Structure 1
Amino acid sequence: MSNNFKMLATTLYGFEPLLERELLKLGAMDIKPGVRNVSFVGDTGFMYKANLSLRTALSILKPIKTFKFHSEDEFYQKLYEFNWSNIMTVDNTFMASATTHQSIFNNSQFVGLRTKDAIVDFFRNQTGKRPNVSTDDPQLIFNVHINRNTCTVSLDSSGDKLFKRGYRTVTNIAPINEVLAAGLLLHSGWDGQSDFMDPMCGSGTILIEAAMIACQIPPNLNRKTFGFMHWQDWDEDLFEVITKSVLKKIRPFHFKITGIDKAPSAIRKAQDNVDKANLSEFINIHHDDFFSTSKEDERPLHMLFNPPYGNRLDVNPELFYKILGQTLKANYKNTKVCFITSDDDAPRFLELKGSKPIKVFNGGIEANLYQFKIY
């Protein structure tokens, strides 16, 4: 008998093809991309491996119940009738989050509350006790997804979102999300086969994700907990076996990864985070103003950065990108340059020809990933 089941990996807008490729490489079966998610099939060991290894996933969900409903009462009743004691005990803390699409419910918070009520009522009637709801640190997270009149309830195997890698202790203003950083690197074609530079490195997230891709280090190796560790079928021995197997894929890196920033405070934070991620042997960080730097040698260089934009840019955008373009053309020949910005005029001010930009979201801000080759 097969112990495989269907799972859903959620991701950021525009990262679906990247996540699909990651899942394929990892050995998932029956992969189907959706919108901001990719569904796939695997067993419990694969679920552990996916949580440890996927760079562009935000969470891995395991569907436990799907049903149709036509009224609010029927929705509650079908949830209440489910045997929740197969999933949790009355002593577990839990929370329920919901998303709705073209449904009779137009308030996802209300759906979360009704789900919580059904679970609490089930246990109260079965045991006379009620489980506690916790929004801060729940042991179990239920994800309720409603599309028209179909509801799917899933268990969140990740717990905290997977961009919480466990290495970032300190950040600057507007730090880039780790999953976004990894996805931008993969979109930019970074494969660890050249030198790498982040000329405006902030708290070092792009550098760390670049080093982990280059060395094939599982991105969530530094995490202390995952949601599945609170499940009834949690298998610590299996998790150990899976962790050892993903560690075997780590490979040496023979190039340089460099980060610079003009803010001394950013350099200190970046160095702290790099140390915490155990990557200081691969990443070199120093204090400098990129506009007064030049490339050290003729070797190919891959550059990806997240320049300040919008209200974080303390100079005129036209002037900023003009000087950036001049610096790159004069001092950084044989470099692939990639950066993310919400400023649509940036490429025009740069006066560089590049490939078609890729639309992404940084937080709630719509932005583009631009890519140029400096010959």
Structure 2
Amino acid sequence: MTKNFKMVAKTLYGLEELLAQELRQLGASAVELGVRNVSFEGDTGFMYKANLSCRTAIKILKPITSFNVFKEEDLYAKIYAIKWEDYMDAEGSLAVDATVFSDYFTHSQYISLKTKDAIVDRFRDQKGVRPNVDLDHPTLRINIHIDRNICTVSLDSSGQSLHKRGYKVATTMAPINEVLAAGMLMKAGWNGQCDFLDPMCGSGTLLIEAAMIACNIPPNLNKDEFGFETWPDFDVDLYELIENAALKKIREFNYKITGFDIDRIAIQKAKENIEAASLTEFITLENKDFFETEKENDKTLFIAVNPPYDERIAVDDVEKFYGNIGNTFKRNYPDSQAWMITSNLEALKFVGLRPSKKIKLFNGKLESRLVKYELYAGSKKAKKN
């Protein structure tokens, strides 16, 4: 039986609580919240499970050592002293990512370079061969985190960021990050309880994440490769056991998930992504202008939308566009709850509806709001009475 060890899961701002909850539900111990990260403990099998099943994690890091650094020479000497031959072969390849919060060390790329030099020099001195650098598909991805004078060295068990689920084969302009999409839906309380609509679906990210949550499908089932798969101690039998156990927890979903988009090309791209995610049986696409649609029946409807912000996708008349969103919600979609994310905080005023919830998130570097609108037939007062 393998021992538990400490790990750190990185996430987006505002999703830390959700990630901590996911980790606890999967069986992690010693869960502690940080800023954009959650630390926890588990064994090797749990590391595999967290990578496969966490919807709101971007990376799962396995720290191997930490030490004090006061100057460049400290960093080089202490990285050089690590037994890197335990983690990779000299014929392998490596990539180094660094994040730095320090007065002395200010340039993360320089830290990455110094780390790489120390590792390569150790292999050359000991084995006479030096590993190559491969930023896309390295044998070992290493993470360096310097906070003031403390340097933590971790192995990146995820490889490419976990938001790259493996289903996005076609993208539109300004697609929403998959981790943000899942986090937004989880914040909104979506768990497959009714019909779902994304009225401006673009390349289909919200639809796919909604279907995976509803069916309890592991989000990274389609991922090509995790970082841990190229480690010398990778246990393929254990991974397959974990994967099969997760697949057994997939559940049935008996409601409709629908996506509209006015752009025929966006619909085609969404169709390709949905097919790549093997979710065509759950999701229906329609080439429609949302502003000319109305609710089809009197069933409860959950609406989630990531409209253009007038940042990467231009909107001719922001006031009119966001006003139309509000009018369509109010007039044509009674007895629904609508959740919308936007970084155009000014545009929210033009929706003309009072949000019952506002949650601060970041879409990339753009500060955004996830807002909830309760949509009633008639007035809210009449509904209450």
TM-score with structure 1 setting the length: 0.98
- The reply to whether residue 309 of structure 1 matches residue 309 of structure 2 is yes
Query: Residue 44 of structure 2 aligns with which residue?
Result: 44
Give structure 2 stretches of 5+ with no counterpart.
377-385
**In 2: Cα distance, 1:320 partner to 1:298 partner:** 26
Give the conservation status (yes or no) of the 8 Å contact 2:142–2:154.
yes
1:297 alignment counterpart: 297
3-state SS of 2:132 partner: coil
- Report the counterpart of residue 189 of structure 1 in structure 2: 189
Aligned residue type for 1:121: D
One-letter amino acid matched to 1:362 = N
How far 1:250 sits from its partner (Å)? 0.4
Mapped partners of 2:2, 2:284: distance in 1: 48
Query: Match of 2:172, SS?
Result: coil
AA partner of residue 162 (structure 2): L
1:372 alignment partner in structure 2: 373
Match of 2:381 in 1: none
Which residues of 2 match residues 62-211 of structure 1 at below 5 A?
A: 62-211=62-211
In the TM superposition, what is the alpha-carbon distance from 1:68 to its structure 2 partner?
1.0
SS in 1 for 2:133: coil
Amino acid across the alignment from 2:63: P
The alignment partner of 1:99 has SS state of strand
Report the more deviating stretch, 320-329 or 294-303. 320-329
Partner in structure 1 of residue 344 of structure 2: 343
- Three-state SS of the structure 2 residue aligned to 1:141 is strand
* Alignment-derived partner of residue 328 in structure 2: 327
- Write the distance in 2 (CA, Å) between the matches of 1:173 and 1:205: 12
> 3-state DSSP class of the match of 2:22?
helix
> Do 1:198 and 1:304's aligned partners in 2 also have CA atoms closer than 8 Å?
yes
Matched residues, percent identical?
54
**Partner residue of 2:3?**
3
My pick for the range that moved more, 234-243 or 75-84, is 75-84
Aligned residue type for 1:152: T
Structure 1 residue 354 and structure 2 residue 339: aligned?
no
Q: Distance in 2 between matches of 1:258 and 1:215?
A: 15
Structure 1 residue 306, shift from structure 2 partner: 0.7
Separation in structure 2 between the aligned mates of residue 349 and residue 71 of structure 1, nearest angstrom: 53
Where structure 1 has 5 or more consecutive residues not aligned to the other structure, the ranges are none
Cα distance in 2, alignment partners of residues 325 and 78 from structure 1 = 58
Q: Does 1:230 align with 2:230?
A: yes
Distance (Å, rounded) in 1 between the aligned partners of 2:215 and 2:69: 48
1:263 alignment partner in structure 2: 263
8 Å contact from structure 1 (residues 310, 342) kept in 2:
no
My pick for the range that moved more, 355-364 or 317-326, is 355-364
The answer as to whether partners of 1:19 and 1:56 remain within 8 angstroms in 2 is: yes
Amino acid in structure 2 at the alignment position of 1:37: N
Mapped contact 1:103–1:147 kept (Cα < 8 A): no
Q: Give secondary structure in 2 for the equivalent of 1:164.
A: coil
Task: Give the AA of the match of 1:259.
Answer: G
Q: Is the 8 A contact 1:200 1:262 kept in 2?
A: yes
Q: Which whole-Å CA distance do the structure 2 matches of 1:272 and 1:106 have between them?
A: 43
Whole-angstrom distance in 1 between the partners of 2:2 and 2:90: 30
The CA deviation at 1:133 is: 1.1
Which stretch shifts more, 103-112 or 191-200? Answer: 103-112
CA-based RMSD: 1.1
State the TM-score, normalized to the length of structure 2.
Answer: 0.96
Preserved contact between residue 184 and residue 369 of structure 1 (Cα < 8 Å): yes
Distance apart, 1:2 and its partner CA: 5.7
Residue aligning to 2:285: 285
- How far apart are 1:351 and its partner, in Å? 1.6
**Other-structure match for 2:26:** 26
What are the superposed Cα offsets for residues 140-162 of structure 1, whole Å, 9 maximum, x if unpaired?
11000001111000000000100
Shift of 1:172: 0.4
Give 1:345 deviation, angstroms.
2.6
Q: Equivalents in 2 of 1:85, 1:15: separation in Å?
A: 36
Equivalent residue number for residue 274 of structure 2: 274
How many angstroms apart in 1 are the aligned matches of 2:88 and 2:101? 28
Amino acid at match of 1:268: Q
Deviation of the 1:288 alpha carbon: 0.5
